[in-house]
Structure 1
Amino acid sequence: MTAPLPRLRARALLASGAGLSMAAALTLTGAGTGTATAADAPSTTVTPAGHSFAAQLNGKATFKAGSVTVTCTTSGSAPTAGSTNNRIPDAPDNHNASGPVSNNINPPTFGGCTTSMPGVKATVETSGTWTVAMQNGDPIVATLGMPTAGFKLTTTGLASCTVTAAPTAPASLPAVFTNGDADNPSKITLSGAPAAVKVEGGFGCPTAAKTSTFSAVYDVTDVTDPASRVLVGE
């Protein structure tokens, strides 16, 4: 992101080192103009136009760096009063004739995080504006955008480390968007999405790690009308 999830204007959820991974985020950016990745990119439309949406972790999120894995059991991004984040643009801005639709979302939260290292606990802090861009196709491509230093993982215990994702520039995390149906919500799936990291700390910290990977599945639901589905099409 930093491509953007649904601006969802048819133009338009990191790891730590030595084993700490980095987290990614769901961003559906607000109204701006998306940028097509190619001159012949197919059209994209995100619906329902003007509806607010939430992204909630389905299962667990894992962040890996080196030999260490951080696992979080809760994560999500939801709309807040007075903000246009997590809102599909009104028509016609929910459509892009030749490229993705992008949107801003509130920074995702992460909780219930544990590490694969005995005696080491982890917490995650996020900040800034996250984004998501949806590009219609087969599969539907989602690009999650993370602002510079927008994700920080801190460990305490036998190893005290700080892992900052996208330390010097925004990061774009590749994902796949799957349209839901009457029985299932739409989903965003990240499978080993890479991101740059900076690891700081002493003994036990993977300070040599420069990248980490993030894997998670997020359910994307319509907050305005829970009976509706957030969908991406032509």
Structure 2
Amino acid sequence: MSRTRTALALGMAAAGALSLASVTASAAPLPVAGSTTVTPAGHAFKATLSGKATLKAGSVTVTCTVSVATGAVPAAPGNQNAAGPVSSPISPPTYSSCTSSMPGVTPTVTTSGAWTVSMQDGAPITATMTVPAGGLVVKTTGLASCTVTAAPTAAANVGGTWANGAPPSLTFTNASVPVKVTGGFGCPTSATASTFNAVYLVTDTTDPAQQITVGP
């Protein structure tokens, strides 16, 4: 083969390879969420706080030692999603035995609305708790009268992780929650976000011998 033909052949091969690479790159699929299955389907569950839950807004931290929420795994086939998370409605979590980092201040936490928790299988398994608009309100009395409203204008997603086990656990570590703070002296009115920390242990209340499990 002549040098001209050899050069032409190499040039065509290189062009073909470049074209193939371009097509392959442009056709590369976008990443999608993997499949998720939560079992046992249809079973009710109870999430109970382990240790303490803290909500920090500005320089003020509210700590609660009692918190409970209930819910249920969707019935089949709703407990499976081939390309994303499985969502379950839960009761608004209750919070009690709460204290404030501000001396002479007593907090009260109330919750309301339609709360949900979504599980996405992976490494780690991720959990997203959705707080409805205005669904959590902290009011303080005593030396400072403040009102902290979580998700003040729209529903907010609070990210956490799930760990299968006996019992399984749902953990929130420095999860960000939008807030609005109103009140007078001593209230962190400039705060627009808070951090939430809590660990919940989850039990199957339909059949206590079984465990709520998240998998592919």
Both structures adopt the same fold (TM-score exceeding 0.5): yes
- The structure with the larger Rg is 2
Q: Provide the residue aligned with 1:226 in structure 2.
A: 208
Aligned residues: 187
Aligned letter for 1:233? G
Shift of the alpha carbon at 1:87?
Answer: 1.3
Aligned letter for 1:138? A
Alignment partners' CA distance in 2, 1:44 and 1:171: 22
Cα pair 1:101 1:134 within 8 Å, conserved? yes
Cα pair 1:193 1:215 within 8 Å, conserved? yes
For residue 173 of structure 1, give the secondary structure of its aligned residue in structure 2.
strand
Asked if residue 160 in structure 1 is aligned to residue 159 in structure 2, the reply is no
Q: Provide the residue aligned with 2:21 in structure 1.
A: none
Q: Provide the residue aligned with 1:12 in structure 2.
A: none
Alignment partners' CA distance in 2, 1:40 and 1:203: 48
Asked if residue 137 in structure 1 is aligned to residue 122 in structure 2, the reply is yes
Cα pair 1:179 1:186 within 8 Å, conserved? yes
The alignment yields a C-alpha RMSD, in angstroms, of 0.9
Q: Provide the residue aligned with 2:188 in structure 1.
A: 206
Alignment partners' CA distance in 1, 2:31 and 2:90: 27
Alignment partners' CA distance in 2, 1:214 and 1:68: 12
Structure 1, unmatched stretches of 5+, are: 1-37, 79-85
CA deviation map 1:13-72 (0-9, x unaligned): xxxxxxxxxxxxxxxxxxxxxxxxx76211100000010011110100011111111100
Aligned letter for 1:98? A
TM-score with structure 1 setting the length = 0.78
Which of 127-136 and 38-47 deviates more? 38-47
Shift of the alpha carbon at 1:164?
Answer: 0.3
Q: Hey, which of these two has a bigger chunk of helix by percent?
A: 2
Q: Provide the residue aligned with 2:61 in structure 1.
A: 69
Q: Provide the residue aligned with 1:40 in structure 2.
A: 32
Alignment partners' CA distance in 2, 1:39 and 1:223: 36
Match of 2:86 among 84, 89, 101: 101
TM-score with structure 2 setting the length = 0.85
Q: Provide the residue aligned with 2:12 in structure 1.
A: none
Alignment partners' CA distance in 2, 1:114 and 1:43: 41
Aligned letter for 2:197? S
Alignment of 1:12-91 (within 5 A): 40-78=32-70, 86-91=71-76
Q: Provide the residue aligned with 2:17 in structure 1.
A: none
Alignment partners' CA distance in 2, 1:188 and 1:87: 15
Q: Provide the residue aligned with 2:102 in structure 1.
A: 117
Cα pair 2:58 2:190 within 8 Å, conserved? no
Asked if residue 172 in structure 1 is aligned to residue 154 in structure 2, the reply is no
Structure 2, unmatched stretches of 5+, are: 1-29
Alignment partners' CA distance in 1, 2:189 and 2:129: 25
Match of 1:191 among 173, 177, 191: 173
Alignment partners' CA distance in 1, 2:31 and 2:137: 36
For residue 112 of structure 1, give the secondary structure of its aligned residue in structure 2.
strand
Aligned letter for 2:206? T
